[in-house]
Amino acid sequence: MSQSLHLTTRGSVLEIVLDRPKANAIDAKTSHEMGEVFLRFRDDPNLRVAIITGAGERFFSAGWDLKAAAEGEAPDADFGAGGFAGLTELFDLDKPVIAAVNGYAFGGGFELALAADMMVCSNNASFALPEAQLGIVPDSGGVLRLPKRLPPAIVNEMLMTGRRMNADEALRWGIANRVVSSAELMDSARELADQITNSAPLAVAALKEIYRATSELSVEEGYKLMRSGVLTHYPRVLHSEDATEGPLAFAEKRAPEWKGR
């Protein structure tokens, strides 16, 4: 594995640390490597949750490596499986990812964090999409995901001026789940990951699948799609052993033993 990525497995949780001094910026090579990691996470039945963070306390990620750009790497370069940073276009990942954001998450770094399912931030976290000021646009999800999370006026200001958003504002708008001190960041992200692993794996996969498939539909249309039989995980969870185990464990006042089937 590249020296730019440090991987640790803690039970069923995969921790990924991006380590590219000084700003944890991501070039095409690193993006390819991150894509390989997220694909292995997707396909490993023993892994349930991933946490992505940046080494150090100053930068989660400054996004696209502008040094590589200056050396000729194009904005539309092949960034590998899953798109930029390996996650921004990995649409068939039915396992949750937590972004543990320490310090600056700018450009593609913010887009990587937005592609995660949940976000825990240190109180010195800061978010921005400065691409317009560099003559490009945040097309690794920023221009698509941010309008689904924030009011239009705030989106336009961030996209068109590159203005920064701090951790407390991100929490108020519901972009972040938690804001903690830098010292507490990974412990808080791990606590959240452990809470997810207490839920049944098939149920979590079905939740991601249903949300992804119905997010642009009306409630009525969402019901029709959910009941149509075209989804994969939702029908499985209804008739799974885990669907029997959950109520049984509750009645017996014990922790459920999930089998993922």
Q: Catalytic residue, from 33, 111, 191, 241: name it.
A: 111
106 found inside a domain = yes
Find the farthest-apart pair of alpha carbons in the chain and give their distance in angstroms, rounded.
Answer: 63
Residue 241 domain boundaries: 201-251
The answer to whether residues 15 and 143 belong to one domain is yes
Q: Catalytic residue, from 15, 71, 131, 216: name it.
A: 131
Q: What is the pLDDT of residue 13?
A: 98
Residue 104's nearest CA partner among 76, 131, 130, 127 is 127
The pTM for the full model equals 0.94
258 found inside a domain = no
The answer to whether residues 124 and 62 belong to one domain is yes
The answer to whether residues 114 and 176 belong to one domain is yes
Mean predicted confidence (pLDDT) in 124-148: 94
Q: What is the pLDDT of residue 64?
A: 85
The answer to whether residues 157 and 32 belong to one domain is yes
The answer to whether residues 88 and 179 belong to one domain is yes
The answer to whether residues 224 and 152 belong to one domain is no
Q: Residue count of the chain, please give it.
A: 261
260 found inside a domain = no
27 found inside a domain = yes
The answer to whether residues 64 and 193 belong to one domain is yes
Task: Show the CA angle centred on residue 123, arms to residues 121 and 125, nearest 5°.
Answer: 60
The answer to whether residues 177 and 208 belong to one domain is no
Which comes out higher in pLDDT, residue 37 or 64? 37
3-state DSSP assignment of residue 146? helix
126 found inside a domain = yes
* 131 annotated active-site: yes
Q: What is the pLDDT of residue 1?
A: 53
CATH number of 94's domain: 3.90.226.10
- Count of domains observed in the chain: 2
Residue 193's nearest CA partner among 11, 39, 18, 23 is 11
**CA 94, CA 116: separation in Å to the nearest integer?**
12
The answer to whether residues 48 and 120 belong to one domain is yes
The answer to whether residues 192 and 103 belong to one domain is yes
Q: What is the pLDDT of residues 212-237, one digit of tens each?
A: 999 999 999 999 999 998 999 999 99
* 257 annotated active-site: no
**Would you say 105 and 127 are in contact if contact means Cβ atoms under 8 Å apart?**
yes
Exposure of 151 in the CB half-sphere (CA atoms within 13 A) = 4
37 found inside a domain = yes
CB burial class (10 A; 0-12, 13-18, 19+) of residue 55? middle
The answer to whether residues 66 and 180 belong to one domain is yes
259 found inside a domain = no
Residue 73, pLDDT > 80, answer no
